[in-house]
Amino acid sequence: MAMINVSFETTPNPHSMKYVISQQISEESCDFKTIQDAERSPLAKKLFGFPWADSIFLGTDFLTVTKQDWVDWDIIATPLANLIQEHLENGEPVLVELAEKISSSSADLEINENDTSVVQQIKTIIKNEIKPAVAMDGGDIQFVKYENNIVYIYMLGACAGCPSSTMTLKQGIETRLVDAIPEIKEVISLN
């Protein structure tokens, strides 16, 4: 049995807590909004078993858990870390493959032959600069499309519903992309 350390840190979103895992737990990032979404993640399904669980974001070496308003982190944070650690140390799966592949938030950044050079630049900046920065706060960004000089994204994990997400979007993501690609007029979150 491997010893796995699970610690937790607050995020800018008061409803979300980031659980940092001492090793990689997944090859991909996944966002689960409901227990039905979590069909391919036994760990996320287990966490949705608690009535206060609102959403679960799975990163490669962290989990972001977003809770309902009616429960306080000081009551659930430590027991939840212990539950996650026990799940992992027991060798229980984090993700399982299903017959139908569900998209992950990293597939959106794969550069393909149909991408324009601007879309390639956008994806590269998001993948190399923006995703690592928001992951530090337990979040993620998913590229949706670039149309009429507007970049459309989803904000995931702790970023979804965070009180400071508008500032992150406009002063962080939009500013960085416009600096690199002046033709971009705006970045819009579809959340």
CATH number at residue 114: 3.30.300.130
Residues 139, 146: Cα–Cα separation, whole Å: 21
Residue 97 lies in a domain: no
Q: What is the CATH number of the domain that holds 16?
A: 3.30.1370.70
Q: Per-residue confidence of the chain (191 residues) as pLDDT tens digits?
A: 568 999 999 999 999 999 999 999 998 889 999 999 899 999 999 999 999 999 999 999 999 999 999 999 999 999 999 999 999 999 999 998 754 444 445 567 787 788 889 999 999 999 999 988 888 888 888 899 999 999 999 888 888 878 888 888 888 899 999 999 999 999 998 87
Instruction: Look at residue 123 in the predicted model and tell me its pLDDT.
Output: 92
pLDDT at 107: 61
- Which pLDDT does position 109 carry in this prediction? 74
| pLDDT at residue 181 in the model | 94
Residue 18 and residue 80 share a domain:
yes
Q: Does any domain span residue 131? A: yes
Helices (H), 27-152: 42-48, 73-89, 117-125, 131-135
Note whether residue 1 is domain-resident: no
**Domain boundaries, position 64:** 6-89
Residue 98 belongs to some domain of the structure: no
What pLDDT sits at residue 2?
Answer: 63
Give dist(CA 4, CA 85) in Å, integer: 6
CA 166/CA 155 separation, integer angstroms: 10
CB atoms within 10 A of CB 25: 21
Question: Is residue 75 domain-shared with residue 29, that is, in the same domain?
Answer: yes
Residue keyed to tokens 């980031």: 18
Q: How far apart are CA 99 and CA 186, in angstroms?
A: 38
Q: Of 89, 119, 137, which residue constitutes the final position of a domain? A: 89
For 18, phi then psi, to 5°, come to -95, 125
Residue 16 counted as domain residue: yes
Residues 15 and 63 both lie in one domain: yes
Q: Residues 143, 109: contact at Cβ < 8 Å?
A: yes
Domain presence at residue 96: no
Which residues, at least 6 apart from 17, have a Cβ–Cβ distance to it below 8 Å? 8, 9, 10, 11, 64, 65, 67, 73, 77, 80, 138
- Which pLDDT belongs to residue 99? 46
- What is the model's pLDDT at position 157? 87
- Count of structural domains within the chain: 2
Shared-domain flag, residues 120 and 179: yes
What local confidence, expressed as pLDDT, does residue 100 receive?
44
Is residue 101 included in any domain, yes or no? no
Distance of CA 72 to CAs 46, 76, 137, 154, Å?
19, 7, 19, 27
In a domain, 49, yes or no: yes
Say whether both 56 and 121 belong to one domain. Answer: no
Is 81 in the same domain as 130?
no
